[in-house]
Amino acid sequence: MDSPARRILIINGKGGCGKTTIATNLAVAYACSGASVALLDNDPQASSSYWAEQRDPKLPPIRVVAKHERPSMYQTQSFHHRLPAGTDIVIVDGHSNARGRDLESLLRQTDIILVPMLPSSIDIRAGGKFITDLLTHRIYRSAPRPVGVIANRVQPNTQTHEKLMQFLGCLDVPAVAQFRDSPVYTDAAEIGQGVVDMKDCRAARKETAQWKQLMQWIDQQTPNHRAPARMRPRSAERKKPLGDSATTA
Ligand SMILES: Nc1ncnc2c1ncn2[C@@H]1O[C@H](COP(=O)(O)OP(=O)(O)OP(=O)(O)O)[C@@H](O)[C@H]1O
Ligand SMILES: [Mg+2]
């Protein structure tokens, strides 16, 4: 049987911290690496769905599944069963008000959790509380899985950046990437792109290393999941006997 898709949830109870920005940019980073990507828009604001509508069909495709639209009588509530066949990566753009059964269902259907955080006292306080609530949540405790914090909109060498880094150093979860506060993110969002799509833009290229680092961390946490198509062995290599290191996918 084929390996399951990696399911990555981007969530924080604090609004405006960059969930949609991280979700769409991560989807692009994986799509550009040859993966078959589905982006699940869990937010009633439908920001990811709107972003995808602006995307040029000539760019690496990202299929959006809109969770806020109620499934029809014949569709299952579980988004996992509504994904296109052959999906390698599922990225869920969570919303800040996910509570109760909605939150439980998201937590049950996820392999990795990413929490974006902004470098302000208000965001640090709210984000810290969200992480504590997450790590003590009944569903999380019954099946703990990797959680990583992303420092978003950082302005290196400022006091607020320093404060965020200090806070992240005291957390029980790792800080796995940091993205600059740059207008290139808003520019990319306007046209349904991610910074990894924008190969001709110097400011966008500066960000690429952090996206690669984030994908590497995710891949290390989920070694038994589907690898993106370009990383899968060719069919001849796949026939090698089990135990051979080439049979990874
Ligand atoms: N690294 C960044 N640099 C500059 N602007 C950014 C960055 N990350 C996010 N933004 C901008 O901040 C605003 C909020 O980001 P975004 O919509 O991704 O947050 P969100 O957490 O999804 O918000 P909501 O809680 O409303 O869903 C947007 O205008 C976005 O373009
Ligand atoms: Mg959003």
Residues 163-208 have pLDDT tens digits of 889 998 888 899 999 999 999 999 999 999 999 999 999 999 999 9
Ligand nearest to the CA of 154: 1
CA-closest candidate to residue 152, choices 188, 127, 189: 127
Asked if 222 contacts 243 with a C-beta cutoff of 8 angstroms, the reply is no
Residue 248 domain flag? no
Query: Is the residue at 128 inside a domain?
Result: yes
Nearest CA to ligand 1 atom 8: 18
Q: Ligand 1: distance of its center to the CA of 18 in Å? A: 4
**How many domains, in total, are found in the chain?**
1
Q: Which domain holds residue 37?
A: 6-238
Q: What is the pTM of this model?
A: 0.88
189 lines ligand 1 (CB under 6 A): yes
Each residue of 3-17: pLDDT tens digit? 688 999 999 999 999
Domain for residue 144, yes or no?
yes
Residue 149 counted as domain residue: yes
- Ligand closest to Cα of 24 equals 1
- Amino acid 66: pLDDT: 85
Cα atoms found within 13 Å of the Cα of residue 138, Cβ hemisphere only: 6
Q: Which ligand is nearest to the CA of 203?
A: 1
Query: Which positions of the chain have pLDDT values less than 70?
Result: 1-3, 68-82, 225-249
CATH (domain of 141) = 3.40.50.300
Q: Which atom of ligand 1 is nearest to the CA of 152?
A: 1
Find out whether the beta carbon of 120 lies less than 6 Å from any atom of ligand 1: no
| 143 assigned to some structural domain | yes
- Mutation to probe ligand 1, out of 9, 12, 21, 28 (largest number of atoms < 8 A from CB): 21
Give the nearest ligand 1 atom to 189 CA: 31
pLDDT number for residue 68? 63
Residue 151 lies in a domain: yes
Cα(249)–Cα(244) distance, rounded to whole angstroms? 12
> Does 246 reside within a domain?
no
Q: Is 162 helix (H, G, I), strand (E, B) or coil?
A: helix
Task: Please choose, from the candidates 16, 78, 28, the residue with its C-alpha nearest in 3D space to the C-alpha of residue 52.
Answer: 28
In a domain, 75, yes or no: yes
Ligand 2 centroid distance, CA of 50 (Å): 11
Q: Answer yes or no: is the C-beta of 221 below 6 A from any ligand 1 atom.
A: no
Q: In angstroms, rounded to a whole number, what is the distance separating the alpha carbons of residues 37 and 60? A: 9
Q: Which of 185, 193, 206 to mutate to test the pocket of ligand 1 (most atoms within 8 A of CB)?
A: 185
Please answer whether residues 39 and 48 qualify as being in contact, where contact means their C-beta atoms are separated by less than 8 angstroms.
yes
